[in-house]
Amino acid sequence: MTKRVLVISQHFYPEIGSAGNRIKNIYKLLKDENYDVNVLTTEPTYPNKKIYHDEQFWDDESIDEENNVTRIGVKNRKYSRSIINRLMYYLEIAFKMMLFILTDRKKYDVIFVTSPPIFIAVVGLLAKYRYRRPLILDIRDLWPESLKGVGVFNYPVVISVFSRLEKILYVKADHIIVNSEGFIRFMTEKYAIPLNKIHFMPNAANRNEISIIESGNDVFKVMYAGNIGLAQDVTVLMDLAKELNEYSIELTVMGYGFKKKEFVRFAKEHKLTNVRFIKPTTRQECLHIISEHHIGIVTLNGKQVFETVLPGKIIDYMTCGIPIVASVSGYAKDVIVSHEAGIVAETNTADEMLRHILYLYQHPSKRGEMSRNSLNYVKKHFFWEKNIEVLIRLIENKSSEPLHVEQTESVDKVEVL
């Protein structure tokens, strides 16, 4: 009998970004395996609603909007700088999703919910008890730890309440999936979550996305793609843009987020003719644009919580076979350095990042080596067609199969089957 899966996510097709792309791939691959997949989500709003008026984003006819996707409308604006407005946005979504679940008459075999925000995970917990079915909790970021990392809502009492809620969710979930190996130690050590309850399923690429086009040999170009928000170090980005201008190296910025306007103002004030800002576009076009560049840039602020994450743009750069120059630490640094996919600045400064960019500029053979390393690593570890097996195994209740865990003094590595 075909199993019915309810997927609950704030982000879904046609939204751009890692979260929307992750859930879209999960939906499509489960459908390919003949699961009956229903999605509870919102109207597309990330990074803003207006861009989805453009029909180019609604380009996937394989997604059955009419029969498989339930979208709730939201009145509050998400991207206000007011943390209160943002919380009200999250709560409105959660409340409307809960109402839907309480009145829904369908039956499901498995509940899959992805977080953050944490309120969506709470919706999933309600669904677990409402439908009396197993809950698979997908964690894409540590929340509320990430709130402390960006410094926008660091109130000890509130953080304490959210941390207790986080623990409840981890304990009550039947299985936990993480998209970063860096989260595993946090869960096992802080909340004593059993290791055999946690499963690693990273963000990934489709086989047809690998190395879409080779970069040109004319003007040397570097790329920054993705969010320019509170977690990213926009100061390093701006300083780097200014220094690249001195060497006539082009910087393409395909970004969005809180700090984008600040970056645009900086470029205008300093007359940085080498910086080109382009609007967010579809994933296919985004990968095409990335592939036309010689180097991909990644930055994160130095807070400890971000040592556990693997930014989606790292996988995208590797998918396109372009070397990475990064200002990151922890797990993201380990992936880049250990697989020789790029260079990480030890001092997290624009000066050092510039030195690494100039080195790769002057050594095309080294760029080629890093490109090959990236593509080989993606093919081995970051294919959705392979990684979806982790989720399928859980849906089929075959989690007793080993995850090839290697341990030293604590959890070090969990490999995807």
What is the block-wise mean pLDDT of the chain (417 residues), using blocks of 10 residues? Answer: 94 95 97 97 91 93 94 72 76 96 96 95 98 97 72 72 93 97 93 96 91 65 92 92 95 92 96 95 93 95 81 94 95 95 94 97 96 94 95 84 37 38
Nearest to 249 by CA among 350, 169, 344, 170: 350
pLDDT for res 159: 80
pLDDT for res 411: 36
DSSP three-state, residue 107 = coil
136/128 Cα distance (integer angstroms): 9
pLDDT for res 243: 96
What is the DSSP track for 137-151?
EEESS-TTHHHHHHT
pLDDT for res 160: 85
364-381 vs 350-362: helix axis angle to the nearest 10? 100
pLDDT for res 403: 42
Q: Position of tokens 């540590």?
A: 142
205/185 Cα distance (integer angstroms): 25
The upper half-sphere exposure of residue 170, i.e. CA atoms within 13 Å in the direction of its Cβ, equals: 26
Which tokens is 26 given?
Answer: 């999960």
Give me the count of residues in the chain: 417
Neighbours of 396 (CB within 10 A): 11
Instruction: Give first-to-last CA distance, the chain, whole Å.
Output: 25
Rg of the chain, C-alpha, whole Å: 21
Domain spanning 4-204+383-414: which superfamily? Glycogen Phosphorylase B; (3.40.50.2000)
Q: Where are the domains of the chain?
A: 4-204+383-414, 208-381
On whether the CB atoms of residues 208 and 186 are closer than 8 A, the answer is no
Is there a common fold for 4-204+383-414 and 208-381? yes
pLDDT in tens, 275-312: 999 998 999 999 999 999 999 999 998 777 788 989 99
pLDDT for res 415: 37
393/128 Cα distance (integer angstroms): 19
Tell me if the bond preceding 280 is cis, omega within 30° of 0. no
On whether the CB atoms of residues 368 and 377 are closer than 8 A, the answer is no
Domain spanning 208-381: which superfamily? Glycogen Phosphorylase B; (3.40.50.2000)
